[in-house]
Structure 1
Amino acid sequence: MTLNIKSYKEQLATWPKQGHHIMAQYDDEKIIVYQSYRPDIGNFAAQNQYFGGDFSLNRMTWIKPNFLWMMYRNGWATKVGQEVCLAIHLKRDAFERYLKQAVYSSYQSDLYPTREAWQEQVQNSAIRLQWDPDHDPYGAKLERRAIQIGIRGKEVEKYAKDDILEIEDITPFVKEQYKHVLYKALDHLMIPEEHPLVFKNEDLNKQLRLQ
């Protein structure tokens, strides 16, 4: 596994406690996002380094840059249909491209002139944006908000093959670390190192409500 790993407790001491934050592992070239799939889709992606086989290009697919939010969603790779957890090394410029065209999943009166205008944008956009409560290793809600991004249409075709640098199956790591959660031994829990991501584009930061 090529991800940078660090103690959960050490990271917790420095992370923001509230507000909208893209918590992620990233550099100038890429950002790590997570997805979980049933074995036939997840194994194909890891083995072939692109999404194909039974992966549907006709459905919206959701990516999450926050590791613990993914663990909340997939139950630490225990939920049916989410047994294979993937760390996707996504091109940084592709991630930003998604966000620049994203439309919120729910109406935001300060961003859209009318509810009808927002609904029209939702219908026409290939990217959906959603902020949800972040979660701790046990799945409890936090005040900090975590982002997830839905991709469909022509953008999901680019995502499946062109926008990805590498796909890692991190399921063994997830299962190993889940033992520390089960035994309530968070002093031993190791997770991918993450920091808040902000952009040079201040208009984008404002649109995303980044703090």
Structure 2
Amino acid sequence: MEEPQHRIRALHTATTVTVYQAYSAVIGRPALREGRFPAAWKRDRMTWIKPSFLWMMYRSGWGTKPDQETVLAVEISRSGFEWALRNACLSSYQPGLYPDHSTWRRQLKRSPARVQWDPERDLSLRPLPYRSLQLGLSGEAVRHYADEWTVAISDMTPLAREIHALVDEGDFDSAARLLPQERPYPAADGLLEHLGVSAFPASRRAFRS
């Protein structure tokens, strides 16, 4: 089946969705130990969460870039995730979705979340012809994310290194078998239309928990 140009693909259950972030050990280790973000994690700054594991690997260089050496899987509530989507604005102006550029700028300024649709990546971290969600949180959305939506935090750094080593060896089949099983997210009708996504039928598999 051909992939739509825009789609949320994520590891999810009936009540949660997993997103990825990468931090230095100063942030990552306390977050893993406590199951929540520590005081050193700034709640007054925008933070970007990524449901695509391979896009996180592209952004962090497989967890090797400075201050991105600890790759976290953050399991958050689906209700919180969808609240952010409903209250998000596209990070760039798109004619047809907004009456004019000024209207978009005003909406962007007051929205607690923003969305980018960036090219999905393959195991070689090359761009694919379809796009995946990057969700930026600010203001009240950051506080909800850190203090209310987060269900669990786990360490994906060893897995990132294992998959990276297999890719370097050219063993793409083994690497692919280790990837998180991301599936189309069953977005309700209308949830993403204000973000440039037309409604499309989800596969039956998308609704399995």
**Do they superpose with TM above 0.5?**
yes
Partner of residue 174 from structure 1, selected from 156, 160, 170? 160
Aligned identity (percent) is 38
* Aligned match of 1:10: none
Deviation per residue, 1:75-130 (Å, 9 max, x gap): 11111110000001110000000000100000011211111011011111110110
* Aligned match of 2:187: 199
Tell me the distance in 2 between the aligned counterparts of 1:54 and 1:175: 26
Considering fraction of residues, name the structure with more strand. 1
Residue identity matched to 2:135: I
The aligned runs of 1:81-120 (5 Å cut-off) are: 81-120=67-106
Aligned-residue RMSD, C-alpha: 1.3
Q: Is 1:41 aligned with 2:27? A: yes
Q: How many pairs were matched up?
A: 196
* Structure 1 stretches of at least 4 aligned residues deviating more than 4 Å after TM superposition: none
The aligned runs of 1:46-195 (5 Å cut-off) are: 46-189=32-175, 190-195=178-183
Tell me the distance in 1 between the aligned counterparts of 2:193 and 2:143: 28
Measured after TM superposition, the shift of residue 17 of structure 1 is 4.0
Deviation per residue, 1:133-188 (Å, 9 max, x gap): 11111111110101100001111111112111100011111111111111121011
Measured after TM superposition, the shift of residue 197 of structure 1 is 1.2
* Aligned match of 1:7: none
Runs of 5+ unmatched residues, structure 2: 201-209
Runs of 5+ unmatched residues, structure 1: 1-13
Deviation per residue, 1:14-66 (Å, 9 max, x gap): 7x545111111112200010000011011111111111232111110000001
Tell me the distance in 2 between the aligned counterparts of 1:133 and 1:51: 28
Tell me the distance in 2 between the aligned counterparts of 1:161 and 1:48: 12
Residue identity matched to 1:48: E
